[in-house]
Amino acid sequence: MSASDITYPQLAAGYALLLLPLGMFLWYGVSLISETVLSVLRMTAQLLFVGFYLQVVFQWNNPWINFAWIAVMVMVADASIVRGCGLRVGRFAFPLAVALLAGVLAPLLLFLFVIIRPNPILDARYVIPIAGMILGNCLRADIVGIRGFYEAIHKREKTYLTALAAGATLQEAVLPFMREALEAALRPTIATMATIGVVSLPGMMTGVILGGADPMTAIKYQIAIMLAIFTGTAITVTLAIYLTLSGSFTPYGMLDKDIFKSGKHR
Amino acid sequence: MTDAIRIDGLTVNFGGVHLFSDLTLAVAHGEKTTLTGPSGSGKSTLLRCIMGFAPCAGGNVFVNGENVTHQNIWQVRGQLAYVAQEPELGEGMTRDALTRPFSYRINRRLAYDEQAALRLFAAFLLPVALLEKPAGALSGGEKQRVALIAALLLQRPILLLDEAASALDNASKQAVRDYLCARDDLTILSVSHDIREFALSGAIANMTEIQQETPS
């Protein structure tokens, strides 16, 4: 038993749904029409590509190719986070990629080697969707955390300098900001965990149920993935801040304003 | 004997604007110097240079004879106490602002002394109840005095004050001035845009007079 396929004409009917929101936009003069169409086209193209690609990857089912695909996902996430934070790509891309890789691999490997133990252990069917879910969910939290951290030090420079003046090391002076950043980044995931199942039936669970598994199996997967997402987010935010710390401050401990992309921070 | 602070030919450009050049100033141990000059002449920046908070384009800063560099600034800050203009006390209660610095490794040999804090509260005409108030809710004048108390509790030999009495009423100003001038052990460099408003007992240095060439 598995999810029944959707034929292309049937999917086309799905696109007809769009006429409703587009009609609303037209009626109320909401200027989102071209943006919506463009986004839907992008979504379609990207997913078609991924669907095609995953078919091939699942056929090969080679651990190295799986890993290479994770690396590609990390790089795309990396670029989108750095851009979302308004920070300079040159300074942040590499340390953030290291943080993302660690934040994805640690929970992923635990997932594979301890929780699910598929055979083969690095089965593409498990490796790629789980890595993708962890990464996709880290994305927004990482932007909130990393951006919040550097923006807060910039905006509340006086508080930061008070700590330096009192003799704090760089690590000691950034600690309160680190604490805030982690809070801001993780609080939404904590709230999601508290309401999950009641307010929304999460995507992975839906997928596993549609795939033909019984609901108890589905919730076990969902619990494991939530824990993996939460841990992955905590790892990436913390690591990303620590790894970018030394490059973002002058030797005197002052925040280097050049880390910000736009001129508004001068 | 070396000076507590010596500034030698210091030049500072700020955001591409020339602020001051070839500035020379010395403050001997225990001396209480007031630095004055018009707004925008770089008085605050001079203090920030000593703290390593502002980059210098040329010249040297010596603290207790030691040439300040990016390598030793972290130790040098352990000899300096600094009260910023319109200081911010950070999160938490006023007491947290006073105790927080003692959690830093460099201050571990010291311990927060509540009795000493209370004596300073009395000396600066501050109600003790402020200790239990959120630090962010304090008035400008209260923040200035609490920041000064936080700096004094660290028992650093050199005190740098940036318009430290600007938000104080006359009675508090007098109380702060009396206390600071009576501390023979403290070296103080105090910035004040108007010496009629606030000046310490020692020398008065004028920004325009301590530079080789006045900025055009």
By three-state DSSP, how is residue B6 classified?
Answer: strand
pLDDT tens digits, B84-99: 999 999 889 999 999 9
Sheet holding B80-83, edge to edge: B80-83, B158-162, B187-191, B32-36, B204-206
First CA to last CA across chain A, in angstroms?
Answer: 60
pTM of the model: 0.85
Q: Which residue of B has its CA nearest to A168?
A: B104
pLDDT of residue A84: 87
pLDDT of residue A263: 60
B:51-70 residues touching chain A, CB 8 A cutoff: 51-53, 55, 70
Preferred mutation among B69, B88, B96, B143 to probe A, highest tally of A CBs within 10 A: B88
Using DSSP bridges, classify how beta strands B32-36 and B204-206 pair: parallel, antiparallel or unpaired.
parallel
Burial class for A162, CB neighbours closer than 10 Å (0-12, 13-18, 19+):
buried
Query: What is the share, in percent, of chain B residues with pLDDT greater than 70?
Result: 98
Is A14 a residue whose pLDDT tops 80? yes
Contact by Cβ (8 Å): B88, A159: yes
Mean pLDDT over all residues of chain B? 91
B77 → closest Cβ in A159, A164, A251: A164
> CB A169 to CB B154 under 8 A?
no
Preferred mutation among B17, B77, B99, B110 to probe A, highest tally of A CBs within 10 A: B77
Burial class for A266, CB neighbours closer than 10 Å (0-12, 13-18, 19+):
exposed
CA distance B56 to chain A (A): 12
Q: Which residue of A has its CA nearest to B79?
A: A167
Reported confidence tier of residue A1, pLDDT bands at 50, 70, 90:
very low
pLDDT of residue B207: 84
pLDDT of residue B213: 59
A167 in reach of chain B (CB within 8 A): yes
> ipTM value of the model?
0.91
Length of chain A: 266
If you average pLDDT over residues B168-192, what whole number do you get? 93
Preferred mutation among B17, B98, B100 to probe A, highest tally of A CBs within 10 A: B100
Identify the residue with better confidence: B214 or B106. B106
Reported confidence tier of residue A198, pLDDT bands at 50, 70, 90:
confident
Q: Which residue of A has its CA nearest to B51?
A: A165
Backbone angles phi, psi at B158, to 5 degrees: -120, 135
Beta strands in A55-148 (DSSP E): none
By three-state DSSP, how is residue A140 classified?
Answer: helix
CB-based contacts of B113: which residues, under 8 Å, 6+ apart? B153
E strand or H helix at A77, and its extent? helix A63-85
> CB B104 to CB A172 under 8 A?
yes
Q: Which of A119, A120, A130, A124 lies closest to A59 in space, CA to CA?
A: A124
CATH topology of domain B5-206: Rossmann fold (3.40.50)
If you average pLDDT over residues A99-115, what whole number do you get? 93
CA distance B73 to chain A (A): 7
If you average pLDDT over residues A60-78, what whole number do you get? 92
Q: Which residues pair with B82 in a beta bridge?
A: B160
pLDDT tens digits, B8-62: 999 988 777 788 888 999 999 999 999 998 888 889 999 999 999 998 888 999 9
DSSP letter at A26?
H
Is A59 a residue whose pLDDT tops 80? yes
Is B73 a residue whose pLDDT tops 80? yes
pLDDT of residue B216: 45
Is A24 a residue whose pLDDT tops 50? yes
pLDDT of residue B215: 47
Identify the residue with better confidence: A262 or A170. A170
pLDDT of residue B116: 96
Domain boundaries, chain B: 5-206
Is B208 a residue whose pLDDT tops 70? yes
pLDDT of residue A266: 54
Chain-centre distance for alpha carbon B150: 11
Contact by Cβ (8 Å): A142, A132: no
Mean pLDDT over all residues of chain A? 90
pLDDT of residue A2: 63
Q: Which residue of B has its CA nearest to A153?
A: B90
Burial class for A144, CB neighbours closer than 10 Å (0-12, 13-18, 19+):
buried
CB-based contacts of B110: which residues, under 8 Å, 6+ apart? B102, B154, B155
CA–CA gap between residue A259 and residue A255 (Å, rounded): 8
Contact by Cβ (8 Å): A25, A33: yes
